[in-house]
Structure 1
Amino acid sequence: MAKALLFDLDGTLLPMNTDQFIEQYMRALAPNVASFLDPKAFIKIIWESTNDMIKNTDHNLTNEQVFIDSFVKRTGIQQSDIWPTFVRFYEEEFPLLKIHTNPSPLSKEIVEIAKEQGRKVVIATNPVFPKAAIYERLKWLDLLDFPFDLVTVYEESHFCKPQPKYYLEILEKIGVEPQEAMMIGNDMQEDMIASKLGMPTFLVTDYLIDRGTLTYEVHQKGSLEELKEDIKAKKGVFAL
Structure 2
Amino acid sequence: MKAILFDLDGTLLPLDTDEFIENYMKMLSWEMKALIPPDLFVKKLWDSTYAMINNTDPGKTNKEVFWENFFEGIECEREPVLSKIEDFYKNKFPELKKVMKQNPVSYSILKEAESLGFELVIATNPIFPEIAIRERLRWINAENFSYKLITTYENMHFTKPRLEYYEEILNIIGTNPEECLMVGNDVEEDLVASKLGIKTFLVTDYIINRKGIEPKPDYAGSLKDLLHFIKNTGGRPH
**Fold-level similarity (TM above 0.5):** yes
Is the alpha carbon distance of 1:55 and 1:138 closer, same or farther for their aligned partners in structure 2, counting shifts above 3 Å? Answer: same
Matched residue, 2:69: 70
Separation in structure 2 between the aligned mates of residue 20 and residue 6 of structure 1, nearest angstrom: 24
Matched residue, 1:17: 16
Separation in structure 1 between the aligned mates of residue 69 and residue 178 of structure 2, nearest angstrom: 36
Matched residue, 1:93: 92
Aligned pairs (5 A) from 1:81-160: 81-160=80-159
Give a deviation string over 1:66-111, Cα, whole Å, max 9, x none: 0010001142434213111101100110000101012422111111
- Structure 1 gap segments, 5+ residues each: none
Residue 214 of structure 1, CA deviation:
4.2
Is the alpha carbon distance of 1:120 and 1:59 closer, same or farther for their aligned partners in structure 2, counting shifts above 3 Å? Answer: same
TM-score w.r.t. structure 2 length?
Answer: 0.95
Matched residue, 1:46: 45
Residue 34 of structure 1, CA deviation:
1.1
SS of the aligned residue for 1:202 comes to: strand
Residue 118 of structure 2 contacts residue 236 of structure 2 at CA under 8 Å; is this kept in 1?
no
Residue 114 of structure 1, CA deviation:
0.9
Aligned pairs (5 A) from 1:198-209: 198-209=197-208
| Paired positions, count | 237
Counterpart amino acid of residue 4 in structure 1: A
Separation in structure 1 between the aligned mates of residue 183 and residue 136 of structure 2, nearest angstrom: 18
Identity among equivalent pairs (%):
44
Residue 127 of structure 1 contacts residue 160 of structure 1 at CA under 8 Å; is this kept in 2?
yes
Superposed CA RMSD in Å reads: 1.5
- Structure 2 gap segments, 5+ residues each: none
Runs of at least 4 residues of structure 1 off by over 2 A? 74-79, 212-217
Is the alpha carbon distance of 1:74 and 1:107 closer, same or farther for their aligned partners in structure 2, counting shifts above 3 Å? Answer: farther
TM-score w.r.t. structure 1 length?
Answer: 0.95
Counterpart amino acid of residue 190 in structure 2: D
Of residues 111-120 and 192-201 in structure 1, the stretch that sits farther from structure 2 once superposed is 111-120
Of residues 2-11 and 70-79 in structure 1, the stretch that sits farther from structure 2 once superposed is 70-79
Of residues 31-40 and 120-129 in structure 1, the stretch that sits farther from structure 2 once superposed is 31-40
